[in-house]
Amino acid sequence: MVHATAFLLVLSLAVVAPVLSTRKVTAGLGCAGQGGQGLHCSTGDKPLSPQCVLTGRWTNDLGSNMTIMAVNAKGEFLGSYHTAVTVTGNDIKVSPLQGSQHRTNENSQATFGFTVNWSFSDSVTVFTGQCFVDETGKEVLKTMWLLRSHVDSIKDDWTATRVGVNVFTRLRSKKE
Ligand code: BTN
């Protein structure tokens, strides 16, 4: 009898504990509200979705779009960048990017950096930033960039670097 009671107690703990821990994540650290930590967020009956994962399509405040491919185990990634603007008179072409992110934990609000080697100009841009989940549960990449343009002479070096900020949000397909 004592064994049966102990067994039932262990069984009920095994069933109840996972439910309680799931509730803690979605209610305490969910997408909305303070302290969004880039964990898994749920809305209503929808399944939990990972947040602050760089992989995917992003657009920024200038109307530029970029696609980041899978992030590997070392935090490295490749992608492509379609800028909406250029300081040159050249025709804009989609350009390759490569970067890396910190991976303290799969869904933390990681810091990252990437370089775009422009395929239609002699310039290079480096971006550095961090992924955040804002108060509405939306992922936002807050970045700063340095754009190095090619100049013909060392005398012109001082003219060659521009600096700015870009804010990226996720581009979603129409199905989502
Ligand atoms: C060039 O004009 O030589 C290359 C294109 C530079 C585009 C810059 S990079 C920083 C800023 N953010 C963008 O999305 N586009 C511009």
Cα of 161 vs centre of ligand 1, distance in Å, is 12
The pLDDT, as a whole number, for residue 4 is 53
Domain range 56-170, CATH architecture: Beta Barrel (2.40)
With a 6 Å cutoff on the Cβ, whether 26 touches ligand 1 is no
Contacts of 49 (CB under 8 A, 6+ apart): 40, 41, 42
Domain coordinates in residue numbering, the chain: 56-170
pLDDT in tens, 40-87: 555 555 555 668 899 999 999 999 999 999 999 999 999 999 999 999
The confidence score (pLDDT) of residue 37 equals 39
Say yes or no: CB of residue 66 within 6 Å of ligand 1.
no
Cβ burial of 101 (10 Å; 0-12, 13-18, 19+) is buried
- The phi and psi torsions of 106 (rounded to 5 degrees) equal -45, -40
Any idea which residue has 């002699």 for tokens? 122
pLDDT tens digits for range 22-42: 333 332 234 433 333 344 555
